[in-house]
C-alpha cells in the first residue's frame, strides 16, 4: 500500500506539480522566513525568548497548517476541484489541533521505535504514514485516524 501510494504520488506530481507549488508557495516562504529569523541571532549570545517564540509558532502553527493545506490542495487537484487558495487557509484552522496532536503522537512513536532499533522505527513510520489523511479528508478522530492508518 505504501509503495503504491508513493508511485501514484509521483505520477500525480508530474501532472499537477506546478499548480500545487504555486498554491502552496506563500506558506512555504512564511515557514522559511520564520525559521531563518528565529535562527539568525548569534549563538554566542544564546537563544533569546523571541527566537523560542518564533520556533514555537513555526513548529506548532505554521507546520501543521502547511500539512493540512498541502493535503487539501493535492486532493482537490486530483479530484479536479477548483477552489480559491484562500479557501484552503480558511478551512484548515478547524483541523489544526487534530493534526498537531497526531504529529506529536507519530513523532513520539517513531522516535521510540528508532531508539529501540532502526527497523521498528521505519516500520512504525510506514504504518503511520496516512494518519493525517484520515484525519483531514475523512474527518476522523485522532484515535480513529491512528487505527485506520495502522490497518492500511
pLDDT digits (tens, 9 = 90+) for 141-150: 999 999 999 8
Per-residue pLDDT band for 1 (boundaries 50, 70, 90) equals low
CA gap 89, 69 in Å, rounded: 7
Containing 56, the helix (H) or strand (E) segment is: helix 49-57
Q: What is the pLDDT of residue 43?
A: 59
Q: What is the pLDDT of residue 143?
A: 94
* Residue 87 C-alpha from the chain's centroid: 18
Say what percent of the chain tops pLDDT 70: 93
pTM, entire model: 0.84
- Joined grid coordinates for residue 6: 508513493
On the 0-12 / 13-18 / 19+ scale of CB atoms within 10 A, 102 is: buried
Q: What is the pLDDT of residue 25?
A: 92
Q: What is the pLDDT of residue 65?
A: 92
Q: What is the pLDDT of residue 109?
A: 93
Q: What residue spans define the domains of the chain?
A: 2-151
Amino acid at each position: 500500500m505504501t509503495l503504491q501510494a508513493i508511485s501514484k504520488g509521483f505520477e500525480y506530481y508530474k501532472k499537477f506539480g506546478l499548480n500545487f507549488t504555486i498554491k502552496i508557495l506563500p506558506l512555504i516562504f512564511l515557514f522559511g522566513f520564520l525559521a531563518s529569523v528565529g535562527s539568525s541571532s548569534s549563538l554566542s549570545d544564546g537563544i533569546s525568548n523571541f527566537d523560542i517564540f518564533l520556533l514555537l509558532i513555526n513548529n506548532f502553527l505554521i507546520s501543521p497548517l502547511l500539512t493540512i493545506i498541502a493535503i487539501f490542495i493535492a486532493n482537490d487537484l486530483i479530484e479536479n476541484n477548483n477552489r480559491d487558495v484562500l479557501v484552503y487557509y480558511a478551512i484548515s484552522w478547524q483541523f489544526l489541533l487534530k493534526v498537531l496532536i497526531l504529529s506529536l503522537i507519530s513523532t513520539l512513536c517513531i522516535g521510540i521505535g528508532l531508539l529501540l532499533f532502526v527497523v521498528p522505527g521505519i516500520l512504525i513510520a510506514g504504518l503511520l504514514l496516512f494518519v493525517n489523511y484520515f484525519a483531514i479528508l475523512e474527518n476522523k478522530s485522532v484515535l480513529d485516524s491512528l487505527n485506520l492508518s495502522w490497518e492500511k
